[in-house]
Amino acid sequence: MTHLKPLASGIALATTALFASAAQADDQTLDFGVPAWPGITVKSAIAEQLLNPLGYETSTQEIGLQVIYQGIESGDIDAFLGAWLPAQREMFDPRKESGVLIDVANNVDGAQMTLAVPEYLFDDGLQSFADLDDYRDQLDGEIHGFGAGSAASEILHNAIDNDSWGLGDWQVVDTSEVGMLSAARDAISRQEPIVWVG
């Protein structure tokens, strides 16, 4: 979105998206794990459209991130097109080290996951994580996220638990990617303050 600028100071959320595949499939159908994230939904649909004419049977399982990693381990999920590292490292690394999953390809370099605010709030001075607590009342102490169990949610909850940047009395409003972006769009249309995972 052209009207948004990320917070200038980063947190340990810088990421790289990877394609991850289970080491062994349990049947003839290639099962994609797909969280409720539009970007991964689109990538998975494109992969299915490319694979089906080549004779592969595919299916998508719309499930949460932790269930996807458990499914890769159990053999119920064969492919996942949304491994964001280092944010998902705790779920990804042990399964890679044990040979349960194979890191097939990197499809995004230099991507970052941070917090975003509307341009008018950025121009007002909310430009880093250190500035957040100064805007606590305006933001109702809420950071909008895109799903409980996501790596971003876990990182933000850890920051709250550790009172990083004075976030100890904040909360993460976890809905879905669509819900989070709708909240941002609504706040922007009314020129209200909001902060979300971007």
pLDDT in tens, 128-146: 999 999 999 999 999 999 8
Domain 4-13+112-197, CATH number (from 3.40.47.10, 3.40.190.100, 3.30.720.110, 3.10.180.10): 3.40.190.100
Order of strands, sheet of 171-174, starting from the edge strand that comes earlier in the sequence: 4-6, 115-118, 196-197, 142-145, 171-174
pLDDT score of 177:
84
pLDDT score of 148:
72
**Between the CA of residue 40 and those of 86, 139, 176, what are the distances in Å?**
17, 29, 13
Domain 16-108 - what CATH class? alpha beta
Tokens 């409980």 appear where?
A: 148
**Between the CA of residue 126 and those of 48, 161, 183, what are the distances in Å?**
42, 22, 18
pLDDT score of 70:
93
Low-confidence ranges of the chain (pLDDT < 70): 1-26
User: How is the chain split into domains, by residue range?
Assistant: 4-13+112-197, 16-108
**Between the CA of residue 95 and those of 21, 31, 79, 167, what are the distances in Å?**
11, 18, 13, 32
Mind listing the pLDDT tens digit for each residue in 55-78?
A: 999 999 999 888 999 999 999 999
Q: Which of 176, 11, 168 has its CA nearest to residue 87?
A: 11
Q: Is the dihedral of CA 167, 157, 86, 47 positive or negative?
A: negative
